[in-house]
Amino acid sequence: MLTAHRNVNLLIQQAGQFRPNAVVIGDDSLYRKVFDALDPLDIKVYSGEKSLTSVVEMDTIDVVLTAMVGYSGLKPTLRAIESGRQIALANKETLVIAGDLITKAAKEKGVNIYPVDSEHSAIFQCLVGDFQNKIEKIILTASGGPFRGKVYEELKYVKAAQALKHPNWDMGAKITIDSATMMNKGLEVIEAKWLFGLDNNQIDVVVHPQSIIHSMVQFEDGSIKAQMGLPDMRLPIQYALSYPDRLKSDFPRFNFMDYPELTFEQADLETFRNLALSYQALEKGGNLPCILNAANEIAVDAFLKDEIGFLEISEVIEQSMGSIDFLNHPTLEDYVSTDIETRIKAKEIINKWVVH
């Protein structure tokens, strides 16, 4: 089974190469193009959000790799868990939005959630053989993005083209902007809480410009384990799908002589306020991380369309977090309504700026 939202050409190409039983294109308007290309190959074609959610229940599926962008991954992931499917999770927003519901459902259904994000995969790999030992804290590494070391004033006139030039990773537009604003690391902090059952004060962030150490675990005896490697997402994806085995690969190998120095810096929460806002959402909990995520998705989209400035992304998020009613123990329906309400509010905030 393969799915995509609008990336129709790549979906057709991959379906032709791997011959899945079925595919889903999220955008209904693209159904005919996919159908015409794949029907001769005897590949079933479905479309729409409901199809994306329902196909995960197919008996032929063993593992669901959730790599949809943002909020869109929540319902399909929850449905897959309720159907007893094992999860390889690349969609961090699912746990950011409703980590309590997702982890509870996974425990009740006996479903494992294998992390795909390089940082969380690193933590998971460090814990193998040490699951019984108490974690003192985890240390998530951040590259610092394209604007590492810049001060607030230098970021006022940043454009999307500049923010999309990540120094180490090749990623989609949304996650690349999130990396530039440090929101990506903030979302990972919240995700880590739920993945590894941590208290809020057990999660640190350190800037590591070379992106060789992908993250670390410190145990209560003071020892630290780190997972290292070149910045290549193929390895964490493969590990999530093959665990507990490590499959032989022809991926490029790390050479210490190519990186004679590995350096570390303190994260700048004053300049990159999205990370501070993420910690604030983590601390308060409830539906605040959901508000944080929804506002960020709207703000990043507006920035990519040149409707707001780089620094205004944080302003949209902060104003939205202060405008939406806080719910301490939200249900799934509450998360859905919070997401909708926040997106409306964030667009209202942006429209006021655009008009003026």
Domain boundaries, the chain: 118-275, 285-356
What pLDDT is stored for residue 13 in this prediction?
Answer: 95
Q: How far apart are CA 261 and CA 277, in angstroms?
A: 31
For residue 277, pLDDT over 90 is answered with: yes
What pLDDT is stored for residue 345 in this prediction?
Answer: 97
- Across the beta sheet with 2-4, the strand order is 2-4, 22-25, 44-47
Pairing of strands 213-219, 224-228: antiparallel
Q: In b/e form, how buried is each residue of 317-341, taking b as 16+ CB within 10 angstroms?
A: bbbbbeebeebeebeeebbbbbbeb
The CATH label, of 3.50.50.60, 1.10.1740.10, 1.20.140.10, 3.90.480.20, for the domain at 285-356 is 1.10.1740.10
Ranking 156-165, 259-268, 306-315 by mean pLDDT, the lowest is 156-165
For residue 353, pLDDT over 80 is answered with: no
Identity (one letter) of the amino acid at 42? D
When comparing pLDDT for 147 and 60, which is higher?
147
What pLDDT is stored for residue 186 in this prediction?
Answer: 96
Furthest-apart CA pair in the chain: how many Å? Answer: 61
Residue carrying structure tokens 């079925």: 22
Residue 177: its H or E element: helix 173-181
When comparing pLDDT for 27 and 55, which is higher?
27
When comparing pLDDT for 198 and 153, which is higher?
198
What pLDDT is stored for residue 295 in this prediction?
Answer: 97
Q: How far apart are CA 231 and CA 229, in angstroms?
A: 6
Q: Is 340 left (phi over 0), alpha (psi -120 to 50) or beta?
A: alpha
Task: List pLDDT tens digits, range 107-166.
Answer: 999 999 999 999 999 999 999 999 999 999 999 999 988 889 888 888 988 888 888 887
Average pLDDT over residues 227-256: 95
Tokens of 176: 């690349």
Average pLDDT over residues 242-271: 95
What pLDDT is stored for residue 168 in this prediction?
Answer: 66
pTM: 0.91
What pLDDT is stored for residue 66 in this prediction?
Answer: 86
Average pLDDT over residues 68-73: 76
